[in-house]
Amino acid sequence: MSEDETVLVIVDAANVVGSVPDGWWRDRRGAAERLRDSLVPYAEDGLPDVPGPLELVLVVEGAARGVASVAGVRVDSAPAGGDDLIAELAAAAAPDRDCVVVTADRGLRQRVEVYGVRCVGPRTVRPLRRRGNEGMG
């Protein structure tokens, strides 16, 4: 499968990490690394309604800049706000390639949807734990 046939999934790290109040603010870099690692299986398996394999790009900003890429997940550090880099990546891909942005940020959604990009919420890649199931694996 060529790169143009592989769906590009761009993940707004700050938005997805911030969607679950699990203490991420104490270690933003560590939270971004945990998110990155949790995304790896999606590269081959795909997402709900988006079959794999996928090209996954995790966009980080601020204290999370410099998080390394791993097999299956490329990490791009935004020089300023992550939204600008996400919009730039989506705009570059959208004319020729299926692209999905993972974010709940309404403003960012509006920016990328004009390019025909689909948007999905953070729960797509980070299901919320149900109360009482935190220790279940």
Mean of all residue pLDDT scores within the chain = 89
Q: For the residues 69-94, what does the mean pLDDT come to?
A: 96
Pairwise CA distance, residues 41 & 10, whole Å? 15
Q: Where are the alpha helices (DSSP H) in the chain?
A: 13-17, 28-45, 82-93, 106-113
Task: Please identify which residue in the block is written with the tokens 């081959």.
Answer: 44
Pairwise CA distance, residues 22 & 95, whole Å? 37
Q: What is the pLDDT of residues 61-77, one digit of tens each?
A: 999 999 999 999 999 99
Confidence of residue 3 (pLDDT cuts 50, 70, 90): low
The upper half-sphere exposure of residue 114, i.e. CA atoms within 13 Å in the direction of its Cβ, equals 8
Question: What pLDDT does 126 receive?
Answer: 81
Pairwise CA distance, residues 134 & 40, whole Å? 21
Q: What is the pLDDT of residues 109-131, one digit of tens each?
A: 999 999 999 999 999 998 654 44
82 in helix, strand or coil? Answer: helix
